[in-house]
């Protein structure tokens, strides 16, 4: 008995920032951002907006497309590093917003790989018979964690949430397998102190100092991200006993178009097999893969029985992949 995704949803903050909006605030240019990252715009939380509300909206869409009610769920697993509280977890706050109780709800902190980790853990528990209907969410607000004076990081990130509803189902469709990896020795390539939650929004008077903002060693990260996403992609298909050329669509974590294109080149994949939407959202961390999945479905890029591969790499470092028969 495996798990199958039967509904997806996404939701974004209301404020859209195009690259030109950042030019007035930072020593940067639309041309630099587009050519180095592929990013054209991103959505960011503004003062008074709640990421939990945004995750709840994405979850309700996923539930309604699955034909289920919040009360039908048996567990909630959230990939996030953006809870406003050390505790309770983001997942418990989301559970409250959805008006349900008495089911397990917990977070997985794997930065940009958060959704890949959450999907893997949910699938394993469903296979072992623990739960039959599970909500898996990726939600992050890294725009609230940058030092808005640091052009090297401030232009990269956007906020949002994506959600999937999984049900157990016999048969060949569903999650075929996952692979998760971490390399803690590289923790300081990408990090942020856990201080202010999501209070330091783009328009807030509360500001992170340079020390409190995201610290990133971009070029090293770039190289490791390309290698690790290639490796985990090859291994997850090998583990499932399928061929890479049989994968219909890859939904990579959307950090940077150059990372995605470099991974595709190394894997020998044509552009039509790789979903790219980083231009519209920036790097939304754990939200990027479920947002991409929801958009790919809407755009009719995924059909019944297609092999679909999700992969990501992020702070930790963490990386991983899930292979799904749609």
Catalytic positions are 112, 253, 283
State the minimum distance, in angstroms, from the CB of residue 255 to ligand ACO: 3
State the minimum distance, in angstroms, from the CB of residue 272 to ligand ACO: 23
Q: Which stretch binds ligand ACO (CB under 6 A): 33-41, 43-51, 93-101, 236-244?
A: 33-41
Beta pairing class for 159-169 and 190-191: unpaired
Q: Which of 86, 170, 172, 219 binds ligand ACO (CB under 6 A)?
A: 219
201 exposed, middle or buried (CB, 10 Å; 0-12, 13-18, 19+)?
Answer: buried
For the window 41-80, what string marks contact with ligand ACO as x by the rule CB under 6 A?
----------------------------------------
| By CB under 6 A, residue 321 contacts ligand ACO | no
Strand partners, 177: 323
Query: What separation, in Å, do the N-terminal and C-terminal C-alpha atoms of the chain show?
Result: 15
| By CB under 6 A, residue 218 contacts ligand ACO | yes
| By CB under 6 A, residue 9 contacts ligand ACO | no
| By CB under 6 A, residue 28 contacts ligand ACO | yes
**Rounded Cα distance, 45 and 314, in Å:** 21
Q: Which of 6, 109, 112, 122 binds ligand ACO (CB under 6 A)?
A: 112
DSSP code per residue over 282-324: -B-GGGHHHHHHHHHHHTT---TT-EEEEEEEETTTEEEEEEE
**Rounded Cα distance, 310 and 320, in Å:** 8
| By CB under 6 A, residue 222 contacts ligand ACO | yes
209 Cβ neighbours under 8 A, 6+ residues apart: 147
| By CB under 6 A, residue 37 contacts ligand ACO | yes
State the minimum distance, in angstroms, from the CB of residue 187 to ligand ACO: 13
Strand partners, 195: none
Classify the phi-psi angles of 118: left when phi > 0, otherwise alpha if psi is within -120 to 50, otherwise beta.
alpha
Identify which of residues 32 and 106 has a Cβ nearer to ligand ACO in the complex.
Answer: 32
- Residues lying near ligand ACO in the complex (CB under 6 A) are found at 28, 32-33, 36-37, 112, 151-152, 155-156, 190, 216, 218-219, 221-222, 225, 253, 255-256, 283, 313-314
């Amino acid at each position: 008995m495996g798990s199958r995704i039967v509904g997806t949803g996404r939701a974004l903050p209301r404020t859209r920032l195009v690259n030109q909006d950042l030019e007035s605030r930072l020593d940067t240019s639309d041309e630099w951002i587009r050519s180095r990252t592929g990013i054209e715009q991103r959505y960011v939380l503004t003062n008074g907006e709640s990421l939990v509300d945004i995750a709840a909206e994405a979850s309700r869409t996923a539930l309604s497309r699955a034909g289920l009610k919040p009360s039908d769920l048996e567990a909630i697993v959230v990939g996030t590093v953006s809870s406003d509280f050390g505790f309770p977890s983001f997942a418990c706050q989301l559970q409250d917003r959805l008006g349900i109780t008495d089911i397990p709800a917990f977070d997985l902190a794997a930065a940009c790989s958060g959704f890949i980790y959450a999907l893997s853990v949910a699938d394993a528990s469903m296979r072992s018979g623990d739960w039959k209907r599970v909500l898996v969410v990726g939600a992050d607000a890294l725009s609230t964690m940058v030092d808005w004076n640091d052009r090297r990081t401030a232009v990269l990130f956007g906020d949002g949430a994506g959600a999937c509803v999984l049900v157990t189902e016999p048969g060949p469709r569903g999650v075929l397998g996952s692979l998760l990896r971490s390399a803690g020795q590289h923790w300081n390539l990408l990090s942020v102190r856990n201080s202010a939650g999501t209070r330091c929004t783009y328009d807030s008077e509360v500001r992170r100092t340079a020390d409190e903002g995201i610290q990133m060693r971009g070029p090293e990260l770039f190289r490791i991200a390309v290698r690790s996403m290639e490796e985990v992609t090859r291994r997850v298909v090998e583990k499932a006993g399928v061929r890479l050329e049989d994968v219909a669509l890859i939904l990579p974590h959307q950090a940077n178009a150059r990372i995605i294109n470099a991974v595709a080149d190394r894997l020998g994949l044509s552009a039509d097999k790789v979903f790219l939407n980083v231009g519209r959202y920036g790097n939304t961390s754990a939200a990027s893969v479920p947002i991409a999945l929801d958009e790919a479905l809407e755009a009719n890029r995924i059909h019944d029985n297609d092999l679909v591969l999700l992969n990501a790499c992020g702070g930790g470092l963490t990386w991983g992949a899930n292979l799904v028969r749609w």
